[in-house]
Structures are given as structure tokens and as C-alpha cells.
């Protein structure tokens, strides 16, 4: 899969190579997107953006990492970009509502459909609580936790994707687990 001929075919713009790329990575990219943004339509849009970015940027791929690592990095960045834009829109709408110039808010709920195979939870409500808790983590913790626990990547793969050292990944994942435990503990303490 990672052979030089395949990558050269991609760089040459050969259609069969892109078809093969999509066959190989479509499910993995979508699974990562749905892990970050648990809304099927948004995850599909982001996955599509990832493949457009891969198509437009394949000539920048130097082969210093595996192709899959490079694609995971693009996917993660696209997801984080989407989350940042969404959060900016929410803040803008909130500020407008305070000032009295309220615009109609986007009523999209981000936990309407969760069919991610890596997450087997008892019900939709628990899934929503978990994703909300994960989204409260600092960005670096959220990224590494999602790649590790939701996507099932090894610490080494996460280090390659994020450009961090292995010990840094271990440290951030340890902190993310502690932070998540505290967030969930406080949530359930307030619920009872």
C-alpha cells in the first residue's frame, strides 16, 4: 500500500490511484471525523474536504512519514478547524443575543446520530455526555485522547501524527484521562 509507485501515481494525478486511495482510507477518515464531530453529515463533509486536501497537496508529501500518518494529520487538522469555526459562530451568536441583535441560531444538534463502531455505549444519552466531556478537554488532550481511545491508534502513531515525542504523548494522555475523570465525576455529582 505504501509503495513508491502508488505515491508516484498519486502525484502524477492518475485517477486509478485516487480511486485506490479513497478505497483504502475512506472508512478510516470518516471514523476519525465522526470521533471528533459526532454528526454524520458534518463528518461526511469534513471527510470529503480531507480527500480534496490530499488531492491538492499530494505533491507536498515528502515521504518522511507513512502516507496514512500524513492523511490522519490532515483529517485531525480539518476536524479541529471545523470545531474552532463552530465555536466561533456560537460565541458570535451569543454576543449578538446579549446585544439585542439576535440572528437565528443554527439549530443543528451535534449528537443526533452516533454510529461509530469504536464506541459501544449503552445509549445515546451516555454517548452525548461522553462526547461533551471529551470536548471540554484542552485541545491537545482532546486530540490525543480521541486518536487513542476512539480511533484505537498506538502511542507511536499518535506521536507521528501530532509531531510530539512518545513521552509527551504518554504524559498528555495520562492528563487527559485524569481531566476526563474529573469532568465526568463533577457532571454525575451535579446530576444526583
**CATH fold for the domain made of 118-192:** Arc Repressor Mutant, subunit A (1.10.10)
- What's 17-66 look like in SS3? HHHHHHHHHHHHHHHHHHHHCCCHHHHHHHHHHHHHHHHHHHHHCCCCCC
What per-residue confidence (pLDDT) applies to 93?
52
Nearest 5°: phi and psi at 111?
-130, 35
DSSP state of 137: S
What per-residue confidence (pLDDT) applies to 186?
80
For 1-114, CATH gives 1.10.1740.10
Burial class (CB in 10 A: 0-12, 13-18, 19+), 181: exposed
What per-residue confidence (pLDDT) applies to 116?
52
- Calculate helix-pair angle for 15-36, 67-99, nearest 10 degrees: 50
What per-residue confidence (pLDDT) applies to 171?
93
Query: What pTM was computed for the model?
Result: 0.61
pLDDT in tens for each of the 192 residues of the chain? 457 888 899 899 888 999 999 999 999 999 889 888 878 899 999 999 999 999 889 998 888 888 998 999 999 989 888 888 876 655 545 444 444 444 444 434 444 444 554 544 444 566 677 777 888 888 888 888 888 887 788 898 888 888 889 999 999 999 998 988 888 888 777 765
What per-residue confidence (pLDDT) applies to 127?
65
Residue intervals in the chain for CATH 1.10.1740.10: 1-114
Residue intervals in the chain for CATH 1.10.10.10: 118-192
What per-residue confidence (pLDDT) applies to 26?
92
Amino acid at each position: 500500500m505504501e509503495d513508491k509507485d502508488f505515491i508516484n501515481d498519486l502525484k502524477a494525478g492518475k485517477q486509478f490511484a485516487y480511486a485506490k486511495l479513497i478505497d483504502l482510507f475512506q472508512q478510516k477518515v470518516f471514523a476519525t471525523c465522526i470521533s471528533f464531530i459526532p454528526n454524520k453529515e458534518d463528518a461526511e463533509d469534513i471527510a470529503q474536504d480531507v480527500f480534496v486536501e490530499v488531492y491538492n497537496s499530494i505533491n507536498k508529501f515528502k515521504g518522511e512519514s507513512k502516507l496514512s500518518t500524513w492523511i490522519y494529520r490532515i483529517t485531525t487538522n480539518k476536524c479541529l478547524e471545523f470545531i474552532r469555526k463552530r465555536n466561533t459562530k456560537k460565541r458570535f451568536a451569543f454576543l449578538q443575543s446579549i446585544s439585542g441583535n439576535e440572528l437565528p441560531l443554527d439549530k443543528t444538534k451535534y449528537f443526533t446520530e452516533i454510529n461509530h463502531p469504536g464506541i459501544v455505549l449503552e445509549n445515546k444519552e451516555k454517548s452525548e455526555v461522553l462526547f461533551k466531556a471529551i470536548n471540554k478537554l484542552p485541545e491537545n488532550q482532546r486530540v490525543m485522547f480521541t486518536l487513542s481511545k476512539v480511533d484505537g491508534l498506538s502511542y507511536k502513531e499518535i506521536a507521528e501524527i501530532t509531531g510530539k515525542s512518545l513521552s509527551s504523548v504518554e504524559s498528555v494522555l495520562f492528563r487527559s484521562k485524569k481531566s476526563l475523570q474529573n469532568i465526568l465525576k463533577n457532571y454525575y455529582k451535579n446530576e444526583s
